[in-house]
Structure 1
């Protein structure tokens, strides 16, 4: 049977394109899937067939009809996965850095979805396809804990938890500079960068609310670096990376938002380790949520991976030796 979802675009919001609104309202669907639904007339605006570029101004009713699931065209691949938890409803994995979550142009194979299709033999239809339900994403080069669902009911339940900001998400990162206080909160909307389409920005006037809580775990004063824990209240694209770059404390080795900050590191060995990292020093350490069937709180965690831990160990040993002198 088809699933029908209805949304009301609130009068209090700034005008927004229909396709952008749906991308945020239905994060489990890719932009290509949403475009296909609109092209097939499965998205209506006030009961009329909608166009993707239509501007929503307030009060409109948006209806999305999701078709019955059909076998996915995505290739199943025997890619090793580190499974932290699994049952008939969902699977929690420890995603390595370098793995893309969902197939896209240029990344049709080797993704997390390719791996899950091979690993999970008990999938139901999600978003019109028999595929694992991607409820949230991690950037390609961010490592750590992720959950995917196997059933429509589990998918909708977890998607609502993400929408309600009730998911417990903890990250660790190495960032440039020394934070002004031991803890704090960044509350700045994030949207697509006005001129660089592959970047996100806090300067987009139609940005969506984004809230990042942080606390300092350790400081390395001589090297002007800080190890921080972050708790996400929202989950916007590149949220941590954008917020900390906006604070002038970009994540170490971030190729998109960090500029050439690695070159400012005075310690040659530390500079080499940061360059060898080849990715932002950001790891999704913990993920906790209410299980969609049992109703119990389920929490999974992942140790900081070796590439990041090598830098942390180097700093810890360096400062321990200095304090012992």
Structure 2
């Protein structure tokens, strides 16, 4: 687990795949700090099999402030993508931004143009541990919205690299929305991938406002250089081990 930034209010880290975001990461942080009773506030979540950027609060006050940013950003996205109308005092722009990159099956087609917004109603079946797209709202169904852009497609058309910005934060949202359009994420056998391996989904970008200083914080991870992220097999790097790192931390976006 690689820590990219840390102070008395929060910690930003690169969560490895296989570690749970709600229990595994807090436990690892407490062990790292040598403080089994240390406060670790969970602000957002990543699926266990997904890696990438996360921020955790180190005080209840920081947790409350960051959670408020998440809530207000979701409200701003709902206004921007037309799910709700703006009311008095509504946030103009999201301030807590999460961007992802994913390797998906195939290339752009009629179901998945080169870029756009995906909208679905999703139902979470807790007994089966799966999420299903449904046609209309009903009890237990939540609307899911994301925007995406396909930035690269393999020469043989078998895989593509997509950049994604979440407007909502539903369980398995990215995985289900792409799989329902016949473009499952690489390695995601639960949702139809024929490729074996880890799920090729990375939380690649994170932006928020520091809860105490008011400073704008921005973090970005490099794309892993191991398969399947490298879509051009003619270019080899010699070392197939995964690498990722912080490209930037800035106080002025």
TM range (shorter): 0.7 to 0.9
Deviation at 1:251, TM superposition (A): 0.3
Of 171-180 and 114-123, the range deviating more from structure 2: 114-123
* Structure 1 residue matching 2:164: 3-state secondary structure: strand
Contact 1:213–1:231, Cα closer than 8 Å, also in 2: yes
- Report which structure shows greater RCO (CA 8 Å, sep ≥6): 2
Distance in 2 (CA, whole Å) between partners of 1:177 and 1:246 is: 13
Aligned equivalent of 2:239 = none
Shift in alpha-carbon separation, 1:289–1:296, aligned structure 2, 3 A: same
Aligned equivalent of 1:98 = 18
Distance in 2 (CA, whole Å) between partners of 1:117 and 1:240 is: 30
Unaligned runs of 5+ in 2: 75-93, 237-253
* Structure 1 residue matching 2:100: 3-state secondary structure: strand
Deviation at 1:231, TM superposition (A): 0.6
| 1:316 aligned onto 2:224 | no
Matched ranges for 1:264-275 at <5 A: 275=196
* Structure 2 residue matching 1:210: 3-state secondary structure: strand
Task: Give the 4+ runs in structure 1 shifted more than 6 A.
Answer: none
Matched ranges for 1:60-209 at <5 A: 81-103=1-23, 111-120=24-33, 131-164=39-72, 165=74, 166=94, 167-180=96-109, 181-193=113-125, 197-203=128-134, 205=138, 206-209=140-143
Aligned length: 209
Aligned equivalent of 1:108 = none
- Rg larger in 1 or in 2? 1
Deviation at 1:212, TM superposition (A): 1.0
Matched ranges for 1:233-272 at <5 A: 233-259=167-193, 261-262=194-195
Contact 1:122–1:150, Cα closer than 8 Å, also in 2: no
TM-score under structure 2 normalisation?
0.75
Distance in 2 (CA, whole Å) between partners of 1:240 and 1:232 is: 8
Deviation at 1:207, TM superposition (A): 1.7
Distance in 2 (CA, whole Å) between partners of 1:290 and 1:139 is: 24
Unaligned runs of 5+ in 1: 1-80, 104-110, 124-128, 263-274, 321-325
Contact 1:215–1:230, Cα closer than 8 Å, also in 2: yes
Structure with greater helix percent: 1
Distance in 1 (CA, whole Å) between partners of 2:211 and 2:122 is: 29
* Structure 1 residue matching 2:67: 3-state secondary structure: helix
Shift in alpha-carbon separation, 1:298–1:121, aligned structure 2, 3 A: farther
User: Over residues 276-322 of structure 1, what are the superposed CA-to-partner deviations in whole Å (9 max), with x where a residue is unaligned?
Assistant: xx22111111110111111121011222335xx33233x313389xx
TM-score under structure 1 normalisation?
0.59
Matched ranges for 1:19-98 at <5 A: 81-98=1-18
